[in-house]
Amino acid sequence: DAGVIQSPRHEVTEMGQEVTLRCKPISGHNSLFWYRQTMMRGLELLIYFNNNVPIDDSGMPEDRFSAKMPNASFSTLKIQPSEPRDSAVYFCASVFSGTSVDNEQFFGPGTRLTVL
């Protein structure tokens, strides 16, 4: 299996531009998570989906952020308009969610976003 795939790996953009991050979860996994990592705030959960349905988006910082999961094999995180404080590494992770708590979450390689 190829693991969780994220694109792009690096993104440099200017303030005000729209940014779209993409994620392909591991086949068979039914839960998908978007995290943001910064030095100041550590690893933050932004939003997660179960069976393509958003379950908890309380971590989304503001209306400029939106996420979609149109099908089981694809998700996007969009920032519009982007701001310099959005600069961070964005991780996507997936897991098969059953009744057990022991399933390991698999992380993608991350997208390093820099907003100038």
Partner 1 sequence: AQKITQTQPGMFVQEKEAVTLDCTYDTSDPSYGLFWYKQPSSGEMIFLIYQGSYDQQNATEGRYSLNFQKARKSANLVISASQLGDSAMYFCAMREAQGAQKLVFGQGTRLTINP
- List residues binding partner 1 (CB under 8 A): 31, 33, 42-43, 45, 48, 50, 55-56, 89, 91, 93, 95, 97, 101-107, 109-110, 112
Instruction: Supply the minimum distance, in Å, between the C-beta of residue 99 and partner 1.
Output: 8
Instruction: Supply the minimum distance, in Å, between the C-beta of residue 92 and partner 1.
Output: 11
CA–CA dist 32, 24 (Å, integer): 9
CA–CA dist 27, 43 (Å, integer): 24
Nearer to partner 1, 27 or 51 (CB): 51
